[in-house]
Structure 1
């Protein structure tokens, strides 16, 4: 089982094109841990903003009476892909991994595969 710091480092080293990663509590919008980022990618701001995205999608699914669970949410920009991966394990309820990827360097399928692996090993 990996702790938060180990999991964030694993995201940064095992996924090509990662610009930054955060583990976020979507109840509070607070980042429990961040790694990477830049002056143009403030991961604390991204954590709070993407909490609103998760909450909105969950409300919409409830209104539609969908009994599915969200695996991930993708936001594609001109030069980046932002991925929100909701954690489903017992210790990860109410949390998501937010990953910003360089669109030209990242392989989306591999990134999703690696995030599933990292999530399975994460113990919060």
Structure 2
């Protein structure tokens, strides 16, 4: 990771988000992962981001087809034991993918912490 603001973002998320499992920041146009980290050896956030990019693009296409004038803020996926958040950048250039253990995380708190710590990412990307 060459970017200090991405390193700081990752450290803030790991240290402050209860149940942190994995995080990635991915460019939407290219699919390139700018940041990727996992706390579990059997969980690959880059693979997850590849599929989540397709989910985000499909939802953006649906919004366009419906003629809606809205932008996606985030996409929430709840599993039995995990919560996955796909947080779309306001400018539409990238998304942040966050996975947390649902037995340790609170959805409201997780979203608030993600919003708090992503500010430097938004300023620098």
TM-score (norm 2): 0.88
Unaligned runs of 5+ in 1: none
Question: Which position in structure 2 is the counterpart of 1:48?
Answer: 50
1:76-95 matches, within 5 Å, as 76-88=78-90, 93-95=92-94
Separation of aligned partners in 2, 1:45 and 1:37: 15
Separation of aligned partners in 2, 1:114 and 1:97: 13
Deviation track 1:64-88 (CA, whole Å, cap 9, x = no partner) reads 1111111110111111111000111
Question: Which position in structure 2 is the counterpart of 1:74?
Answer: 76
State the number of aligned residues: 120
Tell whether the 8 Å contact from 1:79 to 1:103 is kept in structure 2 after alignment.
yes
Separation of aligned partners in 1, 2:22 and 2:42: 11
Deviation track 1:14-55 (CA, whole Å, cap 9, x = no partner) reads 111110100111212221111224232111101111100110
CA-CA distance at 1:101 after TM superposition: 0.7
TM-score (norm 1): 0.89
Q: CA RMSD in A?
A: 1.4
Question: Which position in structure 2 is the counterpart of 1:121?
Answer: 120
Q: Which runs of 4+ in 1 moved over 3 A?
A: none
* SS of equivalent residue, structure 2 residue 118: helix
Tell whether the 8 Å contact from 2:20 to 2:39 is kept in structure 1 after alignment.
no
Deviation track 1:82-104 (CA, whole Å, cap 9, x = no partner) reads 10001115xxx410110001010
* SS of equivalent residue, structure 1 residue 3: helix
Unaligned runs of 5+ in 2: none
